[in-house]
Amino acid sequence: MSEQSTAVEDEVAVGPSSADPAGAAAPTVVDPGTLRMALVVGGLLVAVLLGFGLGRLNPRETVPGAMTPAGGTMGGAAPVAGHSHAPGTGAHQHDGADADDATGLSVTSAGYTLVPLTPEMPAGQAGELRFQVHDGERKPVTRFAVVHDKPMHLIVVRRDLGGYQHLHPTMAPDGTWSIPLTLAQPGVWRMYADFTAVADDGLQAAVTLGVDLVAPGDHIPRPLPEPTRQAVVDGFTVSYDGDPQPGTAVPLVFTVRGADGAVPTLERYLGAYGHLVALREGDLGYLHVHPEPELDGAAVKFWVTAPGPGRYRLYLDFQIAGEVRTAEFTLTVA
């Protein structure tokens, strides 16, 4: 038995009891076998409670299909830390651990750090964006799970929520990601890296990291457009029904119509009939929402939980006749 256990036993054994009729204190005698049994049971109870608490802190799921530096996939399923999912998973969103959290607010999260190698780019000129993701030992990560057909989803937007781009860079064997990029106007831009990293022990973690990019030059931020439920892009009219609420999953249903009012044939893009990104005005909190796997009639249905009140800019990517388009909306959550 440890010194700590012995000390507890000694303290209990010599502790005073109630006074006897003569007023003198008598020692309490405890059977050593009974005491040892109580200590063992207590230790087991503490271990169970501790294990339960750690399990809640580290929820695990399984996700197949991790990408290696050569671009292949790892067979079988690997344990996952935090939120992750298999390709083709139904309606869900990427956000923080709590209902009132959004992601993309930090350059470091879950032991991973976003390291931009080109933090400044000329405005209005074609360039190349390059970056790495580092692990807790400051080493470039080179293994990523393929989620929704891609190992890396990259969102770039100006901090006034204009100039949205949804990109998919490629990775070199040393873990450097790169993609051609043009920042159309001067100003400060926000870059989001949405990925699922695979650690050396096979543990997978779904993470969204954010960092600012700078395009030097004079820039006057544009006010956010007024809220609307309808947007027109390339002759297609996109409208939605639904009112997202903080802490509650609410359906948002999007319908696309052509110039003649007919419903066109929507095609799957990255394994789904649509991809919805929501950015919160002010702190630029990020949500990436995926729809139900099948159409709701001719419409695309998402289940959205707003991470708190505020104004949001919604970006819906959809594909028709092989071309991806983006419809944008402003939404106020009370």
Number of domains in the chain: 2
Same domain, 210 and 78: yes
> What is the model's pLDDT at position 211?
97
User: How many angstroms separate the Cα of 255 from the Cα of each of 239, 258, 291, 302, 317?
Assistant: 5, 10, 13, 12, 12
On whether residue 17 sits in a domain, the answer given is no
Q: How far apart are CA 42 and CA 122, in angstroms?
A: 65
On whether residue 274 sits in a domain, the answer given is yes
Same domain, 74 and 171: yes
Q: What is the span of the domain harbouring residue 243?
A: 230-333
Same domain, 143 and 282: no
User: At residue 57, what is the residue type?
Assistant: L
Same domain, 210 and 88: yes
Same domain, 246 and 171: no
Same domain, 143 and 104: yes
Give CA torsion, residues 252, 150, 107, 62, to 10 deg: 80
Cβ-proximal residues to 45 (8 Å cutoff; 6+ apart), any chain: none
On whether residue 16 sits in a domain, the answer given is no
CB 187 within 8 A of CB 219: yes
Boundary residue ending a domain (160, 191, 215): 215
> What is the model's pLDDT at position 102?
84
Same domain, 208 and 237: no
**CATH code of the domain covering residue 296:** 2.60.40.1930
Q: How far apart are CA 127 and CA 119, in angstroms?
A: 12
Paired tokens of 49: 């409670």
DSSP structure class, residue 28:
P
On whether residue 327 sits in a domain, the answer given is yes
In three-state secondary structure terms, 71 is: coil
On whether residue 222 sits in a domain, the answer given is no
Q: What is the pLDDT of residues 220-251, one digit of tens each?
A: 889 999 999 999 999 999 999 999 999 899 99
Half-sphere exposure of 137 (CA within 13 A, CB side): 5
Boundary residue ending a domain (215, 244, 278): 215
Same domain, 92 and 175: yes
List the beta bridge partners of residue 287: 278
User: How many angstroms separate the Cα of 184 from the Cα of each of 122, 131, 181?
Assistant: 9, 20, 9
On whether residue 176 sits in a domain, the answer given is yes
> What is the model's pLDDT at position 286?
96
Same domain, 199 and 321: no
Q: How far apart are CA 8 and CA 4, in angstroms?
A: 6
> What is the model's pLDDT at position 66?
44
In three-state secondary structure terms, 179 is: strand
CB 310 within 8 A of CB 281: yes
* Pick from 280, 303, 96: nearest CA to 206: 96
CB atoms within 10 A of CB 255: 17
User: Which residue ranges in the chain fall short of pLDDT 50?
Assistant: 1-92, 94-100
Boundary residue ending a domain (215, 239, 272): 215
Q: How far is CA 259 from the centre of its chain?
A: 36
> What is the model's pLDDT at position 101?
67
